[in-house]
Amino acid sequence: MAMKEWCDNLNYKMKTLQDKEEKLKAILEQHVLFERIHPFSDGNGRVGC
């Protein structure tokens, strides 16, 4: 469920944001959110890098 919401949110932002700086900011925010999805017991850093 978390990954679907993450993907849906990123897709929505990329379709609706027009400004390149706003898109970059959204991508960076999504990366931080992705890091918070923990499929591994010791964190998610290896997937998000």
Residues in the chain: 49
Chain position carrying tokens 């017991």: 41
The full set of domain ranges for the chain reads: 2-38
At residue 43, the pLDDT reads 60
Q: List, for residues 1-49, the tens digit of each pLDDT value.
A: 678 888 999 999 999 999 999 999 999 999 888 877 766 666 655 665 5
Q: What are phi and psi of 41, to 5 degrees?
A: -65, -25
pTM: 0.67
